[in-house]
Amino acid sequence: EVQLLGSGGGLVQPGGSLRLSCAASGFTFSSIAMNWVRQAPGQGLEWVSTIGGGGATYYADSVKGRFTISRDNSKNTLYLQMNSLRAEDTAVYYCAKTWHLDSWGQGTRVTVSS
Amino acid sequence: DVVMTQSPLSLPVTLGQPASISCRSSQSLVYSDGYTYLHWFQQRPGQSPRRLISGASNRDSGVPDRFSGSGSGTDFTLTISRVEAEDIGVYYCMQGTHWPRTFGQGTKLEIK
């Protein structure tokens, strides 16, 4: 059974940093593209970033230069390093697998506020 | 960026009746490999999104056959043949052909 367990969310001040993790199991993690998608309170879904199985990375313009997606295939874990956080980054962050988001994790909440 | 436009944004339906959601893209979603990467997701209240349909018309494993997807190019439709209570939630289309990936605004399905 595919499992994606997100963690690392919390309350952070504007300008601060946070690292999200997504622990994967039930599939061959190393060969599969992985994604982060976020949902601001009461809003729709927004794609944030994708990393391919070979390491190629893609970012939304809204986070480019501030967020870094990475993966540790030895730990079956996806990461999102978030720097220079802004109030508008407040959202639930979901990890999802494959280029076309066929399975999603439970989400981890990030709140950027002073 | 490819703009995905869904309609309606709110869809009141009677249980047992059909429902349809439209999704239009600002560019063709046909990729160079000939595949159309248009997907539909369901988000029930308080839950994570779940993919229902991939490639415009391919139902994911475990998805009831009352859900179907159709369309091509820039014009797509999600149809529920007979709405059940468990179908309540928000439905999103998403294009996976172009970078950045983009979602529609979401359509809220509710019971009349």
The answer for residues whose C-beta is within 8 angstroms of residue A9's C-beta and 6 or more apart is: A18, A20, A92, A93, A108, A109, A110, A111
Task: Check residue B15 and give its pLDDT.
Answer: 97
Q: What are phi and psi of A68, to 5 degrees?
A: -135, 125
- Nearest CA distance, A38 vs chain B (angstrom): 11
Residue-wise pLDDT tens digits, B10-37: 999 999 999 999 999 999 999 999 999 9
Q: Find the closest chain B residue to A102 by CA distance.
A: B51
Task: Check residue B71 and give its pLDDT.
Answer: 98
Task: Check residue A114 and give its pLDDT.
Answer: 96
pLDDT band at B83 (very low <50, low <70, confident <90, very high): very high
The 8-class DSSP code of residue A99 comes to T
Q: Find the closest chain B residue to A105 by CA distance.
A: B48
Task: Check residue A57 and give its pLDDT.
Answer: 98
Virtual CA dihedral for A42, A44, A48, A51, nearest 10 degrees? 120
* Per-residue tokens: A53: 């199985």
Task: Check residue B107 and give its pLDDT.
Answer: 98
- Nearest CA distance, A13 vs chain B (angstrom): 26
Task: Check residue A74 and give its pLDDT.
Answer: 96
**Contact check, Cβ <8 Å, A58/B99:** yes
Share of chain B above pLDDT 90, in %: 99
Residue-wise pLDDT tens digits, B93-104: 999 999 999 999
Q: Assess contact for B21 and B38: CB atoms under 8 A.
A: no
Q: Find the closest chain A residue to B52 by CA distance.
A: A102
The reply to whether A5 touches chain B by the CB within 8 Å rule is no
Residue-wise pLDDT tens digits, A15-63: 999 999 999 999 999 999 999 999 999 999 999 999 999 999 999 999 9
pLDDT band at B41 (very low <50, low <70, confident <90, very high): very high
Question: What is the residue type of B38?
Answer: L
**Contact check, Cβ <8 Å, B100/A103:** no
**Contact check, Cβ <8 Å, A105/B106:** no
Question: Considering only CB atoms, which residues of chain B are within 8 Å of chain A?
Answer: 37, 39, 41, 43, 48-51, 54, 60, 90, 92, 94, 96, 99-106
The label of the residue with tokens 């059974």 reads A1
The reply to whether A50 touches chain B by the CB within 8 Å rule is yes
Q: Assess contact for B37 and B53: CB atoms under 8 A.
A: no
Cα(A97)–Cα(B87) distance, integer angstroms: 23
Of B21, B48, B50, which to mutate for an interface test with A (greatest number of A Cβ within 10 Å)? B48
Cα(B78)–Cα(B67) distance, integer angstroms: 7
Cα(B86)–Cα(B44) distance, integer angstroms: 8
The reply to whether A1 touches chain B by the CB within 8 Å rule is no
Kindly calculate the radius of gyration of chain B based on its CA atoms and give it in whole angstroms: 13
CB atoms within 10 A of CB A38: 24
Task: Check residue A69 and give its pLDDT.
Answer: 98
Task: Check residue A93 and give its pLDDT.
Answer: 98
C-alpha distances out from residue A97 to A76, A111, B8, B25, B111, Å: 12, 24, 29, 23, 32
- Nearest CA distance, A59 vs chain B (angstrom): 7
Q: Which chain B residues touch A93 with a CB distance below 8 Å?
A: none
Mean pLDDT of B66-85: 98
Which is it for strands A45-51 and A10-12: parallel, antiparallel or unpaired? unpaired
Task: Check residue A44 and give its pLDDT.
Answer: 98
